[in-house]
Structures are given as structure tokens and as C-alpha cells.
Amino acid sequence: QVQLVESGGGLAQAGGSLRLSCAGSGGTFSRYVMGWFRQVPGKEREFVAAISWSGDSTLYADSVKGRFTICRDNAKNTMYLQKNRLKAEDTAVYYCAARTGLRLTTRNYNYWGQGTQVTVSS
């Protein structure tokens, strides 16, 4: 089982950039598909992006495609979400997630971090 801890959240200006990090421990990090989700109060958790074991395949929600980039450094047991050209609607709690298996999916993630708040002002 892998433990996940997000960091890098905070306040940013619309049009600006922010990078979130997710540190994994307690498992074989390179054998999990990793993903990012976000959630605002009163709404369901929303898929943002996912990345394959080796990092050579990615999947993005349409709302963030072209602005956000997911990557991972398996040697450091860390996954990242680079967020560029931020919009006010990107404001949410962002969660790191991991799933056993090989396929990139938008659901069925097994392990979750505690979340990190991102607030985008305009």
C-alpha cells in the first residue's frame, strides 16, 4: 500500500502558474498509475489528469488540457502537476491518487492523499 502526500498548493493569480507535488511512500511507486483530482464544496470529485507507470502516457480532462502537465519522477517517488494559465475555476482542493493496474482511467483509484488547497484569484 502506498501513502500519498500533496504539497505546493496556495494562492495564485489568474494567468499565473503553480506546481503541485505528490510524494509517495510505502509502496512500489513505479508500479502505480498516478492521477490528480480536484473538488470544490458541494460538488463531486473531478478527474484532472493521469500518468502511466513510466510516465510516457498521459490523460487529461478537457477542462485542463493544454494548460496543465502531469509528470512523474520515479527515482524520487514523486508526481507533479504543473498548472499554467490558471483560471478562477481552477480553485479547488487537489488530491493525489494512485491505482493498481496498468490502464489510464478517470476512476477506480485505490489510494488518496489528504488534499491541498489551490485558490486562484482574478
For 56-81, how does the pLDDT look when each residue is reduced to its tens digit (9 = 90+)? 999 999 999 999 999 999 999 999 99
Residues 6+ apart with CB under 8 A from 21: 6, 7, 8, 78, 79, 80
pLDDT number for residue 15:
98
For 72-107, how does the pLDDT look when each residue is reduced to its tens digit (9 = 90+)? 999 999 999 999 999 999 999 999 999 999 999 999
pLDDT number for residue 28:
94
For 46-59, how does the pLDDT look when each residue is reduced to its tens digit (9 = 90+)? 999 999 999 999 99
Share of the chain above pLDDT 70, in %: 100
For 34-45, how does the pLDDT look when each residue is reduced to its tens digit (9 = 90+)? 999 999 999 999
Burial label, 15 (beta-carbon count in 10 A; 0-12, 13-18, 19+): exposed
